Amino acid sequence: MRRPRRNRTSEAIRNLTQETQLSINDFILPLFLLEGKNKKSEVESMPGIFRLSEDLILKEIEACLKLGIQGFDVFPVVDEKYKDKRATKSYDPNFFYLKSLTKIKKEFPEALVITDVAMDPYSSNGHDGIVEDGKILNDETLDILGQMALAQAETGIDMIGPSDMMDFRVGYLRSLMDKQGFVNTGIMSYTAKYASAFYEPFREVMDSAPKMGDKKTYQMNPANSNEALLEAELDYAEGADILMVKPALAYLDIIYRLKSTFNIPIAAYNVSGEYAMIKAAEQKGWLDADRVMMESLLSIKRAGANMILTYFAKEATKHLHRMQ
């Protein structure tokens, strides 16, 4: 007679039989960079998450490295006055984002710094690609993404994160970077990025919501799973180093399918809306946020993610330290 409860009778046997472990090595912290000095503003819908200017982001990275967090995904918060239809600021070497990336890598060469490749933070219409007559132009956008990626690679960052969902961009960026000598700059591709309602708080942070239409002609339909495999096949063939699924919690099946099919690391992006929901419930006293956070992150890992981009990175790391 098999009694599965036997393996649950004590803390010790539960620990010994635990199949998945979260580790400090699992987390990448997304950071929001502001232009200027000594600037800090909390994101209303993401309590505990701040937009920070370069001086403060350097301090934040230093504190995170001390905690044991090694990966950072830096996003620029771009003032409206810099935005235009072709995202020209995204590859201007004098733009604050690129200058700060250089500074970050200089001060903390040991930190793994990831950048975002997409037009939306710099685009006056909030789309990830060039818009003409209400349509997103794929191949024309590649040229801008290429210039953006090269400008970022030039700063010494470790990995680019194309989050735009244009076709062919991974192969295009890979060969462009290789030609320019950036053979060791990696690509963490936003492979299965869904047209999701969970990005709302992020768009508030960046003031980057699309001014017209939506992102459904490039981001994936939440109903689709086979299509994620197709996207992954292409990104794999085009040379992506890491395949990402985004969002995470409503897409655990996609993480699982990608992990079972491809022999390269899978990342999951536990996005802004997933963070906001837990924090909002905590403020209402409806959930034990610490436990829900750890359970959510554990489930993403159990589904097959090798790494998790999460706004909880610091809190979860502190939690893991407390448990040691």
Using CB under 6 A as the binding rule, whether residue 163 contacts ligand PBG is answered as yes
Using CB under 6 A as the binding rule, whether residue 203 contacts ligand PBG is answered as yes
Q: Which residues of 297-312 are buried (b: 16+ CB within 10 A; e: fewer)?
A: bbebbebbbbbbbbbb
215-244 mask for ligand PBG (x: CB under 6 A)? x-----------------------------
Among 29, 118, 157, 313, binds ligand PBG (CB under 6 A): 118
**Is 193 a residue of the active site?**
yes
Out of 83, 89, 215, 246, the active site residue is 246
Using CB under 6 A as the binding rule, whether residue 43 contacts ligand PBG is answered as no
Using CB under 6 A as the binding rule, whether residue 199 contacts ligand PBG is answered as yes
Q: Supply φ then ψ for residue 267, to 5 degrees.
A: -110, 150
Strand (E) or helix (H) holding 177: helix 169-179
Using CB under 6 A as the binding rule, whether residue 128 contacts ligand PBG is answered as yes
**Shortest distance, position 200 Cβ to ligand PBG, whole Å:** 8
Residues 251-280, interacting with ligand PBG (CB under 6 A): 271-272
**Is 59 a residue of the active site?**
no
In the bound state with ligand PBG, the residue whose beta carbon lies nearer, of 203 and 319, is: 203
Maximum Cα–Cα distance across the chain: 71
In the bound state with ligand PBG, the residue whose beta carbon lies nearer, of 170 and 261, is: 170
Quick one: DSSP state of residue 220?
A: B
d(CA 65, CA 243): 24
Q: Which stretch binds ligand PBG (CB under 6 A): 134-142, 198-206, 259-267, 294-302?
A: 198-206
Using CB under 6 A as the binding rule, whether residue 123 contacts ligand PBG is answered as no
10 Å Cβ neighbour count for 213?
Answer: 14
d(CA 259, CA 271): 19
Out of 193, 215, 279, 301, the active site residue is 193
Strand (E) or helix (H) holding 203: helix 200-206
d(CA 230, CA 236): 10
Could you give the 3-state DSSP secondary structure of residue 215?
coil
In the bound state with ligand PBG, the residue whose beta carbon lies nearer, of 118 and 289, is: 118
Could you give the 3-state DSSP secondary structure of residue 265?
coil
d(CA 51, CA 46): 11
Using CB under 6 A as the binding rule, whether residue 120 contacts ligand PBG is answered as yes
Residues catalogued as catalytic: 193, 246
* Residues near ligand PBG (CB under 6 A): 116, 118, 120, 128, 163, 199, 202-203, 215, 271-272
